[in-house]
């Protein structure tokens, strides 16, 4: 009796692991996320005072025990905790999390990911500081406040770690990427802080449903299902109140007409933005005697132009830093490659058509991700 019970248990666990993989949640990833969380909360961790969150050269907290995520084995995890002092902050606050990757261009539109036998997870925090960029609270206080934030938001932070680990897993499982997808992903992230909210919101949504992000959403939500011990009975209520689901729902319900009308309501800000483009970016756009609709159309044209420029800047940075084994090996080839990529990036459509297409495509992607999340019902208790 005991033998068959154990055999049945092992069979069920195997089926659950297969289902996890099919739903996009690699086996072991949630356990590793919890281990990283515990490493910070339960130990006297090291952190780095930085001037820029891009700086990842400081001290690291190491988990050196080999661990598995899905069918991949990693030798260690390095946890970098960066703290940036800021004179406008009066408490320790969380800014975000990331996981770096490496790669090079190896052909037209082709980006090769470098496989890594270890992962780096980066936590970014703000703390109070003076005008010189020095912290105005003690080392002990900074650590205590970081721990308080993590403990208070345990489920959220563990889910975020799982989210980032899935990025690392996907990078190692995907030898090659489309360079256009990667440049759009990076540029959308950057433009999600565009000074006009309606524009920043669209690019945030594009980033949210990008290929890289949609691959990790099920893992993030599955972490919350597990940590909150969600049952099948509670699943519908849980998913409807989940922030990821709510954002996806907003994406699929947004229309170009709603977006366009919001811009018309902000015509004063749009005019100011065009003046700033003329003054600071070298544009020479005359909107005198233009209707509000014509001004918005001009504004969308400029934004599309700026986005394309930044996308090409990203591709250029990879092109001129491609490795010795890359196909873009000399200046003549590099320039030919950039011309080819520019033709792909700078689509021959108006700014208005571009944003209409972006909103419609985002809605389709959001709908697909919602269907994936619905399948997580099978993993609830």
Q: How many domains does the chain have?
A: 2
Assigned domain for 238 exists: yes
Q: The domain containing residue 90 runs over which residues?
A: 22-174
The answer to whether the beta carbons of residues 137 and 144 sit under 8 Å apart is no
- The values of phi and psi at residue 79, to 5°, are -110, 120
Express each pLDDT in 145-182 by its tens digit.
Answer: 999 999 999 999 999 999 999 988 988 888 888 888 88
| pLDDT score of 301 | 96
What pLDDT shows up at residue 26?
Answer: 86
Whole-number pLDDT of residue 56: 86
In this prediction, residue 108 carries a pLDDT of: 66
The pTM score is: 0.77
Low-confidence ranges of the chain (pLDDT < 70): 1-24, 107-109, 321-330
| Statement to judge: residues 289 and 339 lie in one domain | yes
Same domain, 159 and 60: yes
pLDDT at 65: 85
How far apart (Å, rounded) are the C-alpha atoms in residues 109 and 111?
A: 7
Note whether residue 81 is domain-resident. Answer: yes
- Domain co-membership, 170 together with 204: no
Q: What pLDDT does 227 receive?
A: 87
Instruction: Based on the fold, state whether residues 309 and 366 are members of the same structural domain.
Output: yes
Structure tokens at 262: 């919001």
What's the confidence (pLDDT) of residue 10? 33
pLDDT at 101: 77
Q: Which two tokens stand for residue 52?
A: 């820029």
C-alpha 64 chain-centroid distance: 26
Domain boundary residue, one of 122, 140, 174? 174
CB-based contact 50:44 (threshold 8 Å) = no
pLDDT, residue 319, reads 75
Q: Terminus-to-terminus CA distance in the chain, angstroms?
A: 25
Residue 14: per-residue pLDDT: 38
Q: Do both 55 and 167 map to the same domain?
A: yes
- Any idea what DSSP says for residue 115? P
Residue 54: its pLDDT value, please?
83
Residue of 40, 137, 50 lying closest to 79 (CA atoms): 40
Burial status of residue 68 (CB atoms within 10 A of its CB: 0-12, 13-18, 19 or more): middle
Task: Identify whether 5 is part of a domain.
Answer: no
Question: Which residue is associated with the tokens 């729902």?
Answer: 249
């Amino acid at each position: 009796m005991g033998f068959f019970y154990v055999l049945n248990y092992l069979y069920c666990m195997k089926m659950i692991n297969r289902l996890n993989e099919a739903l996009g949640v690699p086996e072991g990833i949630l356990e590793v996320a919890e281990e990283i969380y515990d490493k910070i909360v339960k130990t006297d961790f090291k952190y780095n005072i930085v001037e820029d969150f891009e700086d990842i050269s400081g001290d690291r907290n190491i988990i050196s025990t080999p661990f598995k995520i899905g069918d991949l084995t990693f030798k260690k995890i390095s946890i970098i905790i960066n703290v940036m002092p800021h004179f406008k902050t009066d408490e320790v606050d969380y800014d975000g999390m990331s996981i770096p990757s490496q790669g090079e261009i190896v052909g037209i539109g082709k980006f090769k990911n470098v496989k890594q036998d270890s992962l780096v997870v980066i936590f970014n925090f703000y703390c109070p500081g003076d005008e010189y960029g020095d912290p105005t609270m003690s080392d002990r206080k900074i650590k205590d406040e970081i721990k308080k934030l993590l403990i208070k938001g345990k489920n959220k932070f563990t889910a975020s770690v799982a989210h980032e680990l899935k990025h690392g897993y996907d990078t190692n499982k995907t030898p090659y990427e489309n360079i256009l997808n990667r440049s759009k992903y990076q540029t959308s992230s950057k433009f999600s802080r565009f000074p006009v909210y309606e524009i920043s919101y669209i690019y945030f949504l594009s980033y949210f449903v990008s290929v890289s992000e949609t691959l990790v959403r099920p893992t993030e939500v599955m972490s919350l299902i597990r940590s909150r011990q969600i049952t099948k009975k509670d699943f519908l209520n849980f998913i409807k109140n989940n922030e990821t689901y709510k954002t996806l729902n907003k994406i699929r319900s947004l229309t170009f007409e709603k977006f366009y009308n919001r811009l018309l309501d902000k015509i004063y800000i749009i005019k100011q933005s065009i003046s700033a483009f003329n003054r600071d970016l070298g544009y020479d756009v005359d909107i005198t005697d233009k209707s509000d609709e014509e001004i918005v159309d001009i504004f969308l044209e400029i934004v599309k132009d700026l986005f394309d420029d930044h996308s090409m800047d990203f591709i250029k940075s990879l092109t001129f830093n491609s490795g010795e084994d890359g196909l873009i090996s000399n200046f003549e080839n590099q320039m030919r490659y950039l011309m080819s990529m520019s033709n792909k990036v700078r689509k021959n459509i108006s700014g208005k058509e571009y944003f209409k297409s972006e909103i419609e495509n985002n809605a389709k992607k959001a709908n697909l991700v919602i269907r994936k999340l619905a399948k997580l019902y099978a993993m609830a208790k």
